[in-house]
Structure 1
């Protein structure tokens, strides 16, 4: 188990991404994935109110509804649910009224009394940060949210959020969710130092680089792959990216785990990382995610992966 920032939330060191629920995983498959994750010790689920508004015919909130139904039917003990605000079509941005309305809508869909971890999904530069910070603090004071967090914020804006929260005397964020993996390490230059300084935990998304770090995509030609993320993942299949896969394969083999598990284990070994986020659209993918949370790499293995990934392919 791992503690998230300065909170009292202890979680399994991997978050199951809910972005696929209601999208590439239908309701029954989502239930199977959630069941397998929980049976393997998983207790941390990450979603957002906007998942999966991008699917034709969807309006957003589909993932939260599936998770809410699963929680109601299974009644699992000790599950931590994180969700986010700012991108739902009916609740765009981070004005105080929108933050409140979106939180209430998420609570209804999830069927819980309080959101464990509530993220500002993307920065909203059109709304004064003071207004947003105060709105998040009010949700905590009113018992609708246990802890707050930020996602996709610059290090400068994270520091500004914390400064304002301290000035206002309201809840400070306990976590930050950045894009971070073996082929996207820019986070180490700015977000990681800010997290260390402020006592925040990282809960990184795209932990498997859209599937590239599973080893399935070894050509920049995505033809033949049916995954919606195939094109993005294949972009990383440069000569340098393939070198990363070679080292991942060696490290994974040494532990008897998959490349995906090794990639997640590397991320867990990095400073401030509490729990990488990874999703599964099929139940047979869950075992690799669980293994990524229980496999500990040696310092030399971490160093080898650090060295081969010092150059990273283009950002996607």
Structure 2
């Protein structure tokens, strides 16, 4: 178990991504994935109010709704659920009124009394940051949210958020969610990791498997014939450099009897300030590798080798 920043939340060090629920995983499959994740020791689920508004016929909130129905059906104990605000078609932006309405809508869909970890999903520079920080603080004060977090914010804006929260006496953020993985490192490691370390923020990286590339499934830049909607996003990493990373992951994983997926997640877990990478599963069969990624411990030499082979970030990323 690992603690999320300065919060009182201790979680299994792998978060199950809910972005596929209501998209590439229907309700029954999502229930089965959630069942398998919890049965295997998982207790941390990540979603957002906007998931999955981009799917034809959806309007946003589908993932939260499925998770809420599953929670009502299973009533698991000790589960930590994180969600986000700013991108739902009906609740765009981070004005105080919008944050409040969106949080209440998320609570209703999830069927919970309070959101364990509530993220500002994307920065909204059209709203004074003081207003957004105060809105999140009020949610905590009123018991609707237990902990505040930020996602996709620059280091400068996170620092500003913290300064405002400190000066006004409202809840400080406990976590930051950046795009971070073996093929997307430089910006996070140069700006976000130092700040997270300075302020004791827990890092909860999304795209931990680079849209599936770090599973080893995509070894060609040609995504033709791939059934997954994410195939093109994954295949773009299949450069000469990207495939060297896969080869190193495969070799190190084999020494542990572990998959490429689990090894990629283990490397990310070994990075400074990282609490729990986020990875999603479209099928129950994908869950064991994610759980293994939360348990596999690499040696310092293995971590260093993967850091070395992945040092350069492809220009197209």
TM-score if structure 2 supplies the norm length?
0.99
Please name the residue that 2:159 is paired with: 159
Deviation, 1:311, is: 1.0
Name the CA distance, whole Å, in 1 between partners of 2:138 and 2:61: 23
Please name the residue that 1:35 is paired with: 35
Please name the residue that 1:175 is paired with: 175
Name the CA distance, whole Å, in 2 between partners of 1:246 and 1:226: 24
SS at match of 1:34: helix
Name the CA distance, whole Å, in 2 between partners of 1:313 and 1:223: 21
The answer to whether the 8 A contact 1:236-1:314 is kept is no
Name the CA distance, whole Å, in 2 between partners of 1:265 and 1:54: 31
Please name the residue that 2:192 is paired with: 191
Name the CA distance, whole Å, in 1 between partners of 2:55 and 2:235: 22
Name the CA distance, whole Å, in 2 between partners of 1:2 and 1:167: 29
SS at match of 1:78: coil
The answer to whether the 8 A contact 1:184-1:315 is kept is no
Deviation, 1:269, is: 0.3
Question: Could you give the per-residue CA deviations for residues 228-261 of structure 1, whole angstroms, max 9, x where no partner exists?
Answer: 1111111110001100000000111011111000
Please name the residue that 2:136 is paired with: 136
Please name the residue that 1:202 is paired with: 203
The answer to whether the 8 A contact 1:209-1:233 is kept is yes
Question: Could you give the per-residue CA deviations for residues 259-300 of structure 1, whole angstroms, max 9, x where no partner exists?
Answer: 000000000000000000000001100000000000000000
Name the CA distance, whole Å, in 1 between partners of 2:163 and 2:246: 41
TM-score if structure 1 supplies the norm length?
0.99
Please name the residue that 1:51 is paired with: 51
**1:9 matched to 2:9:** yes
SS at match of 2:150: strand
The answer to whether the 8 A contact 1:241-1:312 is kept is no
Name the CA distance, whole Å, in 1 between partners of 2:168 and 2:177: 23
The answer to whether the 8 A contact 1:207-1:276 is kept is yes
Name the CA distance, whole Å, in 2 between partners of 1:315 and 1:146: 38
Please name the residue that 1:111 is paired with: 111
Unaligned runs of 5+ in 2: none
Deviation, 1:314, is: 3.3
Name the CA distance, whole Å, in 1 between partners of 2:229 and 2:245: 23
Name the CA distance, whole Å, in 2 between partners of 1:259 and 1:44: 22
Name the CA distance, whole Å, in 2 between partners of 1:10 and 1:256: 28
Please name the residue that 1:71 is paired with: 71
Please name the residue that 1:262 is paired with: 263
> What is the CA RMSD across the aligned residues, in angstroms?
0.6
SS at match of 1:119: strand
SS at match of 1:77: coil
Deviation, 1:315, is: 4.8
The answer to whether the 8 A contact 1:2-1:10 is kept is yes
Please name the residue that 2:290 is paired with: 289
Name the CA distance, whole Å, in 2 between partners of 1:257 and 1:196: 29
Name the CA distance, whole Å, in 2 between partners of 1:314 and 1:268: 25
Aligned residues: 316
